[in-house]
Structure 1
Amino acid sequence: MNIAFTLCSINYLAQAKTLHNSLKLSNPDWKFIIGLVDKNEHNVDLSFLDCEIIEVGDVPIDGFEKMINSYSIVEFVTAVKPFYFTHFFKKYENADKIIYFDPDIMVFAPLTNLEQKLDEYDIVLTPHFTQPITDKHLPTEKHVFNTGVFNLGFLAVKRSENTFKMLTWWENKLRTECILDLTRGYFVDQLWMGLVPAYFDKVLIDKYPGHNMAHWNLHERTLKGTDNKYTVNDLPLVFFHFSHYSPSKPDEIAAYHTRFSFENRPDIKDIFEKYRNDLLTNRYYELKKVPCYYMRNEKKKKFKKSVESFIRKNLPLKAKMMLSRLLKKYS
């Protein structure tokens, strides 16, 4: 059995449903699971999702409460990713290959190419792009230095001891260091994955242009086709990542993107229109309003991090050590 899954809170379920529909159409033999990093305290009717849903509270995670209390929702959603992989391998003993997709992805073709690569490799990663950027528009190569060469909106692994070792290492990192703080060199789960090709064997850096096409690699990839049948650089498009796209801004490819527009890239207009229509069909605006259970203390967490950042930047080392001892003593 092959499993594909995504992680999100209720306010992202329109994206997850859109992903599921596309996967079911193109890969009906793959089992799809939504990892719900939320609690359905508002009794939202989730039956329309038509797939298995596993709440994060049902996944064995050592240090779960501490993660909830210290992480922002973005940090928490990304931190639980390796724990879900491990849980699925244990729960489904016949699961051989597991793929994670961010909820804002659509799958347009069979995953045969990836299945074949997982026959040979244990871990498959996709770099953000594979050709140099020569202009000054966003995103730049420097952004990749800061946030990670590999995009963790996608990760494919195969059942193996090598994979289990990687997941254990990744869990240990993300339990306490899935931090969103570029000033300290942290970018949630993604930057850690840059060490995987050095630490573990049988890791494929997959440069196939039809895998993980997104706004950050448009400079090297051209789309053709319509009606669910697309090619990238004349090869089949397998999945497209609509990262940072908002249906509320239909004329904008992505936030933080200045390189292209739909005017100078008419080749991608059709696929974005399709994605927007599917999101609206799948209750985007209704679900977007549902507050996430684990966001209750976001302001308190943000204030605490601001104080910690101020102390780290302004106090001398000796004072920081003394303060750290006092906090441990009275915590």
Structure 2
Amino acid sequence: MTSAYCTVLSKGRLYQVIALFGSLKEVQADASVFTLCMDDDTYQVLKAMQLENVTLVPIAALENEELLELKKTRDQSEYCWTVKPVFLEAVLDRHPGLERVTYIDADLFFFADPRPIFENQPDCSVLLSRGDIVIPSFEKQEIDMLQRLLGRYNSGFLSFKTDQAGTDCLKWWKQRCLEECKNAPGEGKFGDQGYLDYMSDLFPNVCDITTPGVNIGHWNYGKHTFSWKDGRLVLEDGHPLIFYHFSGYRIVSTDDIRLIHESTRTDLPFVHQLYQDILPHVIETVSAVRPDFNGFASEDDNK
């Protein structure tokens, strides 16, 4: 194992992460995923499922005095974001043979092999996903304001090599997140994400991902069209859709799967229907293994 993926997971995203694991296995069968479980329910369900190439780490194994103090002052989202770079660094420390570690959000879904992302830019120590906002119904002033508040990059997929620049950059990101990680948009400081804007100015070999079809989500799907070609999903230029970021889903029940960010839009790409068709099967699979588990969101969960 020379590279690995990492994700941070709480019970409200467990159904989505099972979909993620299944999609990744389909396109990269030997992919290893280290999963930081933020609660015992999550850990016990995944342990019972015995998923191949998924290594479970309970949050208690990571927490030290500093993190436990921060946990008292940060909400669940803030704390999950805070521990992301801490977890990435811990995985690298405990697995010195790794040459690369890549963070993936639980609500990603892979449609094609992600390895070309790294093969196309082998000299980059850090790879970042652009988070350019492209929403046709928004005025330019609205988009410019959101971009300033949310940052130029999306932290749902980013990758660090274990060279000097990569590890230095990861350490710097960890320190910033420990200092502040607010669940509120603000210029230069939105959660763990705002800090990504500064990485290329502070460290060498920090690159924007140039491979098409990466980390498309509700904030930028307006610039793309999707179609089937030879049995695979492709973009308008024929490049494969590698993965889509299904941000904003709330699974209230098997029959009530909501998309809170785009509740009034009628032009969602058909990949959303594919995802929504998969999730009920995931819920059934989890229920068969642990009938007592409830990973559903509340009716008023809009965060």
Percent of aligned pairs sharing the same letter: 19
Residue from 268, 283, 287 that aligns with 2:294: 287
* Unmatched runs of 5 consecutive residues or more in structure 1: 292-331
Output the amino acid matched with 1:193: L
Kept in 2: contact 1:4–1:33 (CA 8 A)? yes
After TM superposition, give the deviation of residue 45 of structure 1 in Å: 6.6
Q: Which residue of 1 aligns with 2:15?
A: 14
AA matched with 2:148 = F
CA–CA distance in structure 2, aligned partners of residues 158 and 118 of structure 1: 11
* Comparing 221-230 and 15-24, the one that deviates more: 221-230
Higher helix fraction (1 or 2): 1
Q: Return the offset for 1:278.
A: 4.5
Name the counterpart of 1:328: none
Calculate the TM-score normalised by the size of structure 2: 0.83
Cα drift, residue 61 of structure 1 = 4.8
Match of 1:188 in 2: 191
Q: For the structure 1 residues 184 and 109, does the alpha-carbon distance in structure 2 shift closer, same or farther, using more than 3 Å as the test?
A: closer
Q: What amino acid maps onto 1:254 in structure 2?
A: L
Q: For residue 168 of structure 1, what is the aligned residue in structure 2?
A: 171
The structure-2 alpha-carbon separation of the partners of 1:99 and 1:64, relative to structure 1 and needing over 3 Å to count, comes to same
Between the aligned partners of 1:242 and 1:99, the Cα distance in structure 2 is 18
Q: Secondary structure at the match of 2:154?
A: coil
Displacement, 1:78? 0.6
CA contact (8 A) 2:3 2:101 kept: yes
| Map of 1:79 onto structure 2 | 82
| Aligned match of 1:237 | 241
**2:153: which partner in 1?**
150
Distance in 2 between residues matched to 1:208 and 1:147, nearest whole Å: 22
C-alpha deviation, 1:260, in angstroms:
3.7
Question: Is 2:60 the counterpart of 1:52?
Answer: no
Helix, strand or coil at the partner of 1:186: coil
**1:246 maps onto 2:250 in alignment:** yes
Matches within 5 A, 1:104-123: 104-123=107-126
| 2:74 pairs with 1:67 | no
* Residue 209 (str. 1) matches residue 216 (str. 2): no
SS at the partner of 2:57?
Answer: strand
Equivalent residue number for residue 301 of structure 2: none
Alignment partners' CA distance in 2, 1:174 and 1:104:
21
Structure-2 change in CA distance of 1:228 and 1:187 (3 Å)? farther
Task: Note if 1:256 corresponds to 2:261.
Answer: yes
One of 223, 226, 233 as aligned partner of 2:226: 223
* 2:138 counterpart of 1:136: yes
- Contact (CA 8 Å) 1:129, 1:217: kept in 2 or not? yes
CA 1:181–1:258 in structure 2 vs 1: closer, same or farther (change >3 Å)? same
Cα-to-partner distance string for 1:187-235 (whole Å, 9 max, x where unaligned): 2100111111111111111243310011111111111128982112221
Quick check: 2:131–2:154 contact (8 Å CA) kept in 1? Answer: yes
CA contact (8 A) 1:223 1:230 kept: yes
CA distance in 2, matches of 1:15, 1:94: 30
Separation in 1, partners of 2:4, 2:232: 23
1:248-280 per-residue CA deviation (whole Å, 9 max, x = no partner) reads: 49898832336842xx34543543334434443
Residue matched to 1:312: none
Query: 3-state DSSP class of the match of 1:46?
Result: helix
The structure having more radius of gyration, on CA atoms, is 1
TM-fit CA distance, 1:117: 3.7
Q: Secondary structure at the match of 1:153?
A: strand
CA RMSD of aligned residues (A): 3.2
Cα contact 1:133–1:141 (8 A) shared by 2 = no
Distance in 1, Cα, partners of 2:233 & 2:82: 33
TM-score (norm 1): 0.76
1:3 is the counterpart of 2:1: no
Aligned residues: 288
CA distance in 2, matches of 1:71, 1:236: 39
Q: Which residue of 1 aligns with 2:128?
A: 125
Does the Cα contact within 8 Å between 2:160 and 2:170 map onto a contact in 1?
A: no
In structure 2, distance between residues paired with 1:227 and 1:141: 38
After TM superposition, give the deviation of residue 82 of structure 1 in Å. Answer: 0.7
Distance 2:271 2:22 in 1: 20
Question: Partners of 2:245 and 2:44 in 1: how far apart?
Answer: 30
Uncovered stretches (5+) of structure 2, i.e. residues with no partner:
299-303
